[in-house]
Amino acid sequence: MVKPGKIDVLIIGSGPAGVATSLTLSARGIKHLLVEAQKEPQRKPGEALPPNAKPLFRQLGIDHLMEHPAHLPYYGNQSTWKDAALQTEDFIRDVHGHGFLLDRLLFEEQLHELVQAPFYKGYSLRSVSSHEKGVEAVVESSHDTLHLKAPYIVDATGRKASVCRHLGITPTVLDEWFGLWFYVDGKAPKQIFVESTDKGWWYAAPFGQEQITMMFFTRKESIPAKAAIPGFLHQQFRAATQLSKTFSIPDLNTAEVQIRPSGTACLDQPYGSNWLAVGDAAYAYDPISSFGITSALAGGYYAGHALADTLQGNSDALEVYRYVMENGFIGYLNKLSNL
Ligand X SMILES: Cc1cc2nc3c(=O)[nH]c(=O)nc-3n(C[C@H](O)[C@H](O)[C@H](O)COP(=O)(O)OP(=O)(O)OC[C@H]3O[C@@H](n4cnc5c(N)ncnc54)[C@H](O)[C@@H]3O)c2cc1C
Residues 24-53 that bind ligand X (CB under 6 A): 35-38, 44-48
Q: What gap in Å lies between CA 213 and CA 218, rounded to an integer?
A: 16
CA-CA distances (angstroms) from residue 180 to 2, 15, 226, 235, 256?
A: 39, 21, 11, 14, 10
SS3 at position 78 = strand
Identify which of residues 17 and 308 has a Cβ nearer to ligand X in the complex.
17
Smaller CB separation from ligand X, 80 or 264 = 264
By CB under 6 A, the residues from 59 to 88 that bind ligand X are none
Q: How far is the CB of 315 from ligand X (least distance, A)?
A: 26
Given the complex with ligand X, which of 43 and 226 has the nearer CB atom?
43
- Residues 299 to 338: which contact ligand X by CB under 6 A? none
CB closer to ligand X, 233 vs 313: 233
Binding mask 253-292 for ligand X (x = CB under 6 A): -------x-x----------------xxx-----x--xxx
Residue among 65, 125, 252, 308 that touches ligand X (CB under 6 A): 125
Number of residues that bind ligand X (CB under 6 A): 38
Binding-site member from 9, 11, 16, 306 for ligand X (CB under 6 A): 16
Of the residues 17, 303, 307, 317, which one makes contact with ligand X according to CB under 6 A: 17
Q: In what order do the strands lie in the sheet with 275-277?
A: 119-121, 32-36, 9-12, 152-155, 275-277
Distance in Å, CB of 312 to ligand X, minimum: 25
Pairwise CA distance, residues 99 & 136, whole Å: 41
Is 243 or 281 the residue whose CB approaches ligand X more closely? 281
Q: 160 vs 234, which CB is nearer to ligand X? A: 160
Q: Are 164 and 277 in contact (CB under 8 A)?
A: yes
Packing angle, helices 16-27 and 292-311, rounded to 10: 30
Specify which residues 9 forms β-bridges with. 32, 152
Question: What's the closest the beta carbon of residue 153 comes to ligand X, in angstroms?
Answer: 11
Give the HSE-up count for residue 204: Cα atoms under 13 Å, Cβ half-sphere.
25
* CA 150 to the chain's CA centroid: 26
95: buried, middle or exposed (CB in 10 Å: 19+, 13-18, 0-12)? exposed
Out of 157, 191, 196, 264, the only residue in the binding site for ligand X (CB under 6 A) is 157
Q: Is 137 helix (H, G, I), strand (E, B) or coil?
A: strand
Interface residue with ligand X, options 22, 78, 110, 162 (CB under 6 A): 162
Residue 171 interacts with ligand X (CB under 6 A)? no
Q: Give the total residue count for the chain.
A: 339
CA 302 to each of CA 1, 24, 108, 323: distance values in angstroms, whole numbers, following the listed order: 27, 8, 20, 11
Task: Tell me how far, at minimum, the Cβ of 215 lies from ligand X, in Å.
Answer: 5
Q: Which is nearer to ligand X, 65 or 313 (CB)?
A: 65
Q: Measured between alpha carbons, how far is 195 from 216 in angstroms, rounded to an integer?
A: 10
**Site membership for ligand X, residue 156 (CB under 6 A):** yes
Among 11, 15, 177, 263, interactor with ligand X by CB under 6 A: 15
Give the binding site for ligand X (CB under 6 A): 12-18, 35-38, 44-48, 124-125, 156-158, 160, 162, 179, 181, 215, 260, 262, 279-281, 287, 290-294, 296
